Chains A and B, each alone.
Chain A
Amino acid sequence: MSDNILLETRSLTKRYGKVTALNNFSVALESNKIYGLLGRNGAGKTTLLDIITSRRFAGAGDVRLFGQDAKENQKVLPNVCYMPEKNYFIPTMKVSEILETSAMFFVNFDMEYADRLCARFGLDKRKKYKALSRGYESILRIVVGLASRAPLTIFDEPVLGLDAAVRDLFYRELLEDYTSHPRTFIVSTHLIEESADVFEDVLIINNGELICRHHVAELREMAFYVSGRPSDVDAAVNGLNVIHSEMVGSVKISAVFNKINDEMKNRLKTCNVDISPIPVQKLFIYLTNSNKGVFQ
């Protein structure tokens, strides 16, 4: 497993004045997987991605990419394509020029594929970057990110300003190209529900720390509501990790986030309660509202 590690951050810490953006952040990501990076505004996502790609430097800790120290490493960085949320391209350049420049920088860049993507997303290559709408800015980042075919491709909020149909197209293109050219993707997003199943693993950052890392299927299986009479619910969730509770009239609803084995399932069956799934978006809100009692 360890030779399959593509990216490793070790005890990254970054402070901006009194604010700690990343706190002792360690994570190891494997090759050829699509990772979802989730976190609320200001959770530390962009800081983390910036440090991985040497756009910013950590106060402490280091980043290893492809088994090497990544900091300003010119052997490593051309294999990483980072499409940040904003201010990446030169405003006066045309789309076609941006694609040509990208092709010079990224060894695996596929111009034919970039052209196909432009056509599919309706991006006019003759337009200047500054003339693009918010949505088309995002589309250009998607085109460059996918066509670069970099072993590590990072999208920060790739679907910002895109309507549902275009977002759908992006997820399909991502999966299609990923299946024909396997590589590692890190995708940060706020739109969790619609993208969750595209990811293999989900990482949740809160207050600069990794609070949760799971396979998506596992995440869904671990999260469920227990509802019923308060005393029944309390008995049912006894000993489980409860991340949220509320009363609706006389009914108590508790959200549980816990690995469940058959024995626990059978025990829950004997309690007089209802069990129902928690949508991923809701789970995310519960987990990031307070990180007490969350296990890794």
Chain B
Amino acid sequence: MKLDFSDEKSIYLQIAESIEDDIIKGVIEEETQVPSTNQMAVIYKINPATAGKGINLLVDKGVLYKRRGIGMFVAAGARKKILEERKNSFYSSYIVTLLEEAKKLGIGTDEIIDMIRKGENTHER
């Protein structure tokens, strides 16, 4: 069963996510400025109202904050906060779907663990 209500739909979620990704990867550091809603609108070619929704989402989460008259900044501790949240959703979005698919294909738990080990070895950085 596949449930996909939001894939291409919620552009603002994608924007929020891509900012978060940049924060996790360290591309955008804490206490640095992020592009304004208007700049985002032009960069992503979307309506500013939509871009604003994405930014507000991150403000509500405490990932971004507004410095009056200057712009949006990444909050201190934002990276840790996002990592924790992503770890929590890792189980539901990856492990659960992995197990569902494995069950469909008749792959046992031991076999999955072997595959993970194998993947780890070939993907070593």
> Which residues of A sit under 8 angstroms from B2, Cβ to Cβ?
274-276
- Assess whether A176 is in contact with B42, with CB atoms less than 8 Å apart: yes
Q: Give the complex CA separation of A261 and B3 in angstroms.
A: 14
- Assess whether A175 is in contact with B41, with CB atoms less than 8 Å apart: yes
- Assess whether A275 is in contact with B42, with CB atoms less than 8 Å apart: no
Please tell me which stretch of A48-56, A67-75, A215-223 contacts chain B, meaning at least 4 of its Cβ atoms lie within 8 angstroms of it.
Answer: A215-223
Q: Give the complex CA separation of A55 and B116 in angstroms.
A: 69
A247 at the interface (CB under 8 A from B): no
> Which residues of B sit under 8 angstroms from A275, Cβ to Cβ?
2-5
Residue of A nearest to B36 (CB): A179
Per DSSP, chain A at the interface is helix
Interface residues in A243-296 by Cβ distance below 8 A to B read 260, 265, 268-269, 272-277, 279
> Which residues of B sit under 8 angstroms from A279, Cβ to Cβ?
8
- Assess whether B42 is in contact with A268, with CB atoms less than 8 Å apart: no
B12 at the interface (CB under 8 A from A): yes
A197 at the interface (CB under 8 A from B): yes
Could you tell me the distance in whole angstroms from the C-beta of A290 to the nearest C-beta in chain B? 24
> Which residues of B sit under 8 angstroms from A178, Cβ to Cβ?
48
Q: Give the complex CA separation of A179 and B5 in angstroms.
A: 30
- Assess whether A221 is in contact with B3, with CB atoms less than 8 Å apart: no
Could you tell me the distance in whole angstroms from the C-beta of B3 to the nearest C-beta in chain A? 5
Per-residue 0/1 for A11-42: is the Cβ within 8 Å of any B Cβ (1 yes, 0 no)? 00000000000000000000001100000000
Q: Give the complex CA separation of A2 and B91 in angstroms.
A: 48
- Assess whether A172 is in contact with B1, with CB atoms less than 8 Å apart: no
Given contacts A200-B47, A273-B1, contact A220 B10 (CB under 8 A): yes
A residues near B (Cβ < 8 Å) are: 33-34, 168, 171-172, 175-176, 178-180, 197-200, 215-217, 220-221, 224, 260, 265, 268-269, 272-277, 279
Q: A175-B48, A269-B3, A275-B4 provided; 8 other pairs, C-beta below 8 A?
A: A172-B42, A172-B45, A175-B45, A175-B46, A197-B45, A198-B47, A277-B8, A279-B8
What are 28 A-B contacts with C-beta separation under 8 Å? A172-B42, A175-B41, A175-B48, A179-B41, A197-B47, A198-B45, A198-B46, A198-B47, A200-B50, A215-B49, A216-B47, A216-B50, A217-B9, A217-B10, A217-B11, A220-B9, A220-B10, A221-B9, A269-B1, A272-B1, A274-B1, A274-B2, A274-B3, A275-B2, A275-B3, A276-B4, A277-B5, A277-B7
